Amino acid sequence: MGRKVVQVQLPQEVYRAIREFSILEGKGLDEFLIELADSYVRAKYGIEEFEMITLANVIKTMRGLAVVLTYLRDIYNSYRDIFGLPVPSPERAAPAQPAEEEGGGLLKALADRVEMLSKSVLELKEEIAMLREMPRGEEGRPAAAGPALAEIEEMKQEIMAMMMNAMRHMVRRAMSATMGAAVPAARGAAAAAQHAATA
């Protein structure tokens, strides 16, 4: 069976990340996506030492949460368009909210937290650097680093899972855009081949 050629238009960094891996080597999709997500994060943010900088990614994620709250407004705006909900006249509009500081109260709260986390990252980096110089505990890792490292590990897992999810959607989107009707046909052919092999 000849190799199938698919043309996919992806952002440059995603393309670079994908090019590093080959599904044809027989890797499972999950393994491929994990590596892809890892590579994507490294390529996109120029991250050399992924383990150590994960908290910085969490901060970006926190900023992203602020973005979620911002784009919610666009989403809700689109609700109005879907069913043509009425736009109120100015006199019926809700009373004006008190003027917020730049960025709004919620965004400011998030920004404060981001700043706080930024400080935590620096402190944590210093702590880890210090712990590295200390004698190692019984289990081969710095004795006091457990909770902090466990937290970093947990955050890393969360970000990786989210990146993987985004990659899945991206792959789905690319596949559906480029292959279209070829997918059901290919599935049918694969099913027929499997059926023939097991018969």
Partner 1 sequence: MQPEQLPEQALKAAETALAQAFVSGAAAVRLAFERRGGVEHPCVYVELRGKCADERACAERCKGDAQCASRCVDGQCEAMLAAIRERVERARAGDLMALFGLQPVPAGALPGMLSLEMLVKDVELVSVKREGAQAAVTVKLWFLPLKVPLLAAAAHRAAAVCLASRGAVEGCPEMEMLLACAERRTYGEVKECVRFLAE
Give the residues lining the site for partner 1 (CB under 8 A).
10-11, 13-14, 44-45, 57, 60-69, 71-88, 93-95, 97-98, 100, 104-107, 109-110, 113, 151, 154, 158, 161-163, 165-166, 168-176
Backbone dihedral region of 176: left (phi > 0), alpha (psi from -120 to 50 degrees) or beta? alpha
- Nearer of residues 83 and 199 to partner 1, judged by Cβ: 83
Min separation Cβ 177 and partner 1, Å: 8
Q: CA-to-CA distance for 133 and 122, rounded, in angstroms?
A: 17
Q: Using the minimum distance from each CB to partner 1, give the nearer residue, 2 or 84.
A: 84
d(CA 30, CA 164): 9
Kindly tell me which of 186 and 193 has the beta carbon lying closer to partner 1: 186
- Is 93 in a helix, a strand, or coil? coil
C-beta of 65: minimal distance to partner 1 in Å?
6
Number of neighbours of residue 102 by Cβ within 10 angstroms = 7
**CB distance 60 to 155 below 8 Å:** no
Q: Which residue, 102 or 138, has its beta carbon nearer to partner 1?
A: 102
